[in-house]
Chain A
Amino acid sequence: MDRRDFLKEAILLVGGAAALTALPGCSWQDAPYSMAADVKKRLERIGEIMIPRTKTFGASDVDAAGFVEKLIANWASKETRGKLLSLIGNPHLVALEKMDDAKATAALSEFDAAAYGKDNKDWKMLKELMMLGYFGSERYQTEIAKFELVPGRYDPCVKLEEEAA
């Protein structure tokens, strides 16, 4: 048993599980992050207001919030995760759940504009992740962006309508 394992055992024995996170180099031993249901619901609400259904499908149709959830679990560092979770718990965003869609859209729009004014990096990150979850989804890429894995040729100048056709 190496020193780290020994420390881990010792901490578990005396019941100091919280101290585990402070143990250097132990992050791989942490239980995988799993998002609480209420947090997930808030995230879904942010997604559906940010990227609603219009004539095309919206964030909720491709589970963009689920994508963000996975990134918070598997990509984000502990520090980033903490920041994103505290943002999702921001009262202004929590309040979206209780509003109807029109009110929620106005409120999120105001929050978003203010966040850019203040250079709120956490919001920009969450928005980017949600956008990636939506615009980067298989459904968006195949149905709307018409992504081709193997274009096979390059045309340097195409009329936009031809491209769309």
Chain B
Amino acid sequence: MSGDFDAIIVGSGMSGGWVAKELTERGLKVVVLERGRNIDPTTDYRDFDNPWELENGNKIPQEEAERDYAIQSQWGGFNTATKHLWVKDSEHPYTTPKDKPFLWIRGYHVGGRSLMWARQSYRLSDIDFEANKKDGHGVDWPIRYADLAPWYDHVETFAGISGTKEGLPQLPDGQFLKPMGLNCVEQDFANRVAQAFDGRKVIPGRNANLSEVTKIQESLGRGACQFRNYCARGCSFGAYFSSVSATLPAAKQTGLMTLVPNAVVMKVITDPKTGRAAGVQVVDSVTKKPTTYTARMVFLNASAITSAQILLNSANEAAPRGLANSSDQLGRNLMDHLFGISTAAEVSGFEDRTTFGRRPNGLYIPRFRNLDDEGLDFVRGYGYQGSISRKDWERGSNRPGIGGEWKDSLAGPGGWQLGISGFGEMLPYAHNRVTLNPAKKDAWGMPIPHIECEHGENERKMAEKISADAREMCEKLGYKVVHSNAEAAEPGKGIHEMGTVRMGRDPKTSVLNAWNQSHDIPNLFCTDGGAMTSSACQNPSLTYMALSARASAHAVELLQEGKI
């Protein structure tokens, strides 16, 4: 047994790193329990490998991919340079109904998926926080934009988000570093979209890459982006935000953090007398040796599906349905973003122009649908992400051609091509749900999650419109559409799982209150994607960060006031 901590933090990923930083900077002694191995940037990052140095031309052997990475390998960024950051599906199984596939894309190591993310960072607005209340789907968020705005400021300033101020009510501006801007063809696209479509805007993506370095970032050893676009391999310059480059080093500087890798948290244990969280049960991932950690409060940051799994597995006599689950909402309302609805089009002109450097960012088209009542046959909205770039030699591989002339024609850059992909809001449905598989345990003795999740009518209608709107934009501008699909990928592929431990006003219909604190167990918090009451259509991690920082500050106050 290992005690003497003020707080236990389960998971060192995007949200757990923030909790560690905020609690330690306020003087709390914390232990971060991380199921994965430690990450050493000097040996674990492959950002200095030239493309030709990567084994098998950066392709994972087919038999290995099929055997060990059946799910992860369906994600385009799974390759030789990044392989070591993805979980082996063969070692970390979960089940789904046969007819409802769910792609659970994960990384188990210090830093979690903050090492792997695409860094797109957008604020939610009151249009999002009020949506459930307005149209009756799910329950009302217990907070509004004004509650989170100062915390968005706080996390953006520390993390470093590049972007432009646009004055859009549906996508509030923030504390931005200078943008990683549009190229000339994207700028032309932006100008023409604004002219042709009322209320539509194309803006530079807002991304967590340091386009310039502030004092705080410098003090953590972070450097400016070198425009290699190898972020997914880990960045030796610490130029993109991750727990490893930013929050964990800040927590470490306080001297108050103990980080324990290879620690698989199995359940939260409670004090039978008070019903409060007393600590967690842990199994060492390598030796399988069990341990118990105790503390004055517990933060769950193991990501949406796993935090629900841990609480469900913590059922006891007083809480037979799972801990903190008097509402029966734990594990329910699983959401992801509609993903994979993409459009590609050839753009003529600008043949004498190109770009220099590899920008780790693209363009963004903020939500423009259902901002007012438009009479559409679905609720909520979507944005698009993508870019316009010149094709490279690979353009030669999908059409006939061989020989000298063909070869020489591939030497320079090819034509410009637009590629955009919609990110659509998914509604919370009680039947989209994570439960424990009663028959199967993983190698550490934890019942594996059973994930049941499907899109509904609203999602299907929205998917069609995402595709139709993208095509319309291209056609109206005279771009030649070469690819277009209107069917969303299986849920999970958006890698934005959320909602399984939702916040709400009413303890009868939600798991957490306005401070990410369990309604049932006051010293238990969850600030990962599980907490989200609705999904909005913006990439969610920035909101997890802001919620984490806000909840941490509040928890410290409660502790100091003797309330927990």
- Picked from B181, B228, B394, B396, the residue with its CB within 8 Å of the CB of A156 is B181
A52 and B403 in contact (CB under 8 A), knowing A131-B397, A154-B359, A156-B184? yes
A52 and B404 in contact (CB under 8 A), knowing A136-B51, A141-B51, A156-B181? yes
- Picked from A56, A80, A151, the residue with its CB within 8 Å of the CB of B411 is A56
Q: Closest CB-CB distance, B188 to chain A, in whole Å?
A: 10
How would you classify the secondary structure of chain A's contact residues: helix, strand, loop or mixed? Answer: helix
Query: Across the interface, do A75 and B401 meet the contact criterion of CB distance under 8 Å?
Result: no
- In chain A, positions 99-151 with a C-beta closer than 8 Å to chain B are 105, 108-109, 112-113, 115-116, 124, 127-129, 131-133, 135-138, 141, 144-145, 147, 149-151
Interface status of B399 (Cβ within 8 A of chain A): yes
A141 to B296 Cα, complex, angstroms: 57
Q: Which B residues are CB-close (under 8 A) to A153? A: 227, 356-357
Query: Across the interface, do A163 and B61 meet the contact criterion of CB distance under 8 Å?
Result: no
Count of A interface residues, CB-CB < 8 Å:
55
**Scoring B residues 32 to 59 as 1 if CB is less than 8 Å from chain A, else 0, what string do you get?**
0000000000000000101110011101
A146 to B443 Cα, complex, angstroms: 48
Q: Closest CB-CB distance, B420 to chain A, in whole Å?
A: 18
A149 and B62 in contact (CB under 8 A), knowing A54-B404, A127-B397, A141-B50? no
Interface status of A51 (Cβ within 8 A of chain B): yes
Query: Across the interface, do A71 and B408 meet the contact criterion of CB distance under 8 Å?
Result: no
Interface status of B407 (Cβ within 8 A of chain A): yes
Interface status of B413 (Cβ within 8 A of chain A): yes
Chain B: CB-nearest residue to A75: B56
Interface status of A152 (Cβ within 8 A of chain B): yes
Query: Across the interface, do A150 and B57 meet the contact criterion of CB distance under 8 Å?
Result: no
Chain B: CB-nearest residue to A163: B354
- Picked from B56, B226, B393, the residue with its CB within 8 Å of the CB of A131 is B393
- Picked from A50, A74, A75, A132, the residue with its CB within 8 Å of the CB of B403 is A50
Q: Which B residues are CB-close (under 8 A) to A141? A: 50-52
Extra A-B contacts (18), CB below 8 Å, given A67-B57, A116-B400: A54-B407, A54-B408, A71-B56, A74-B56, A75-B56, A75-B59, A75-B60, A75-B61, A77-B63, A105-B403, A124-B398, A135-B393, A151-B358, A152-B226, A156-B183, A158-B354, A158-B356, A159-B353
Q: Closest 8 interchain pairs by CB?
A: A154-B357, A151-B357, A157-B184, A77-B62, A155-B356, A156-B183, A75-B56, A135-B393
Residues of B within 8 A of A (CB): 48, 50-52, 55-57, 59-63, 66, 180-184, 186-187, 226-228, 351-359, 393-394, 396-404, 407-408, 410-413
